[in-house]
Structure 1
């Protein structure tokens, strides 16, 4: 005779097994859709900083991981995507970080030509103050578009600053630290491209990291 407590334990075990099986089935059914949505989201972000509709799955595959904490803001490798026109690279899309935001790291993506012209930039993640520092987001203001078309070179760093520091970019009323950090990170991303010509020939190695 099975004791009542044993029956309850058996019932709970069966319910647990059924729940795990259902969760596994749901995961199998939804995983392709989630992966498809993640891919679409990433391509949408890339298309925001590149000429219209040039981002594709081939761009995501043509990616190298670069470790340079000084210019890319993190001790871990960051991804750099290579946009090609035939065999020639027409742009690099750099994932970078401003480590000196008002509230910590500001993650960005920056598109820059091999010659150092910034094609566009977008903020991917930040913890800046709502209503002040969050104007770095494109949905909050058009400020981030002010970097578009601006040239990066080894000798024009002084121009890559907010106006309060003698540069050419506006700061926000009551929030200078945030735009200062973003402008500096974008400049550094362009400088990395200029200082690393071997980016063009490195084998793609992002793989499962992306």
Structure 2
């Protein structure tokens, strides 16, 4: 076989290999995307009772303005509805903990009350601040039912800071960061309620 023929054969084999790889990736992309959506749905929607909404919240993002808050940054949000009426807003928040960024999911109902707080990402100290990633999480459950006015603004702090909340043992900075970010989200909801809840029936 001549050198030219050998090169042509290698090129053809490479082209066939690339084509097959592309075909496999193209064919499996929808399945991978569907599996990723399912994972995201499980992670992001388990703070809301499944029978309380009938839309696909992750397909209904809300517009976030002035995302840089006092102690945190809002990364985005979603709206859960039932019969085209808003049920809850899911806000993704990022704050700075002891060892790095902490990403939270903060779910607020239409009356401004917390349905729950969940840690999505964190890099805190194992055995101490990293316990905010445990699920279910007893410490995070203490926020359930709280609102901007219950407690009042001054109460949104650790007891050692004259507030109303206990801290995770040995993780003062982490605890303080989560409390402040949750309070930020409640303030943002209160000040942008109409924008966040919108009018789903006219989308």
Please give the range of the TM-score, normalised by the shorter of the 2 chains: 0.7 to 0.9
Match of 2:77 among 76, 80, 91: 80
Q: 1:42 to 1:191 in 2, by over 3 A?
A: same
Partner of 1:103: 99
Once the two structures are superposed, the pairs formed by residues 15-34 of structure 1 within 5 Å of their partners are 15-34=13-32
SS at match of 1:66: coil
Aligned to 1:40: 38
**Rounded Cα–Cα distance in structure 1 between residues aligned with 2:53 and 2:99:** 31
RMSD: 2.7
In structure 2, the CA distance between the partners of 1:70 and 1:26, relative to structure 1 (3 Å rule), is same
What do the CA deviations read for 1:12-63 (whole angstroms, capped 9, x no partner)?
4334323322221221222111111121122212332112344665322222
Q: Separation in 2 of the partners of 1:186 and 1:11?
A: 62
Pairwise mapping of residues 10-159 of structure 1 onto structure 2 (< 5 A)?
10-54=8-52, 58-67=56-65, 68-70=67-69, 73-74=72-73, 78-98=75-95, 100-139=96-135, 141-153=137-149, 156-159=152-155
Unaligned runs of 5+ in 2: none
Given the alignment, which residue of 153, 163, 172 partners 2:159? 163
Q: 5+ residue gaps in structure 1?
A: 204-210
Matched with 1:208 is none
Equivalent pair of 1:97/1:105 in contact (CA under 8 Å) = yes
- Aligned residues of 1:122 and 1:138 also touching (Cα < 8 A): no
**Distance (whole Å) between structure 2 residues aligned to residue 139 and residue 43 of structure 1:** 16
Matched positions, count: 199
User: Does the CA-based 8 Å contact 1:48-1:120 persist in structure 2?
Assistant: no
In structure 1, distance between residues paired with 2:118 and 2:178:
10
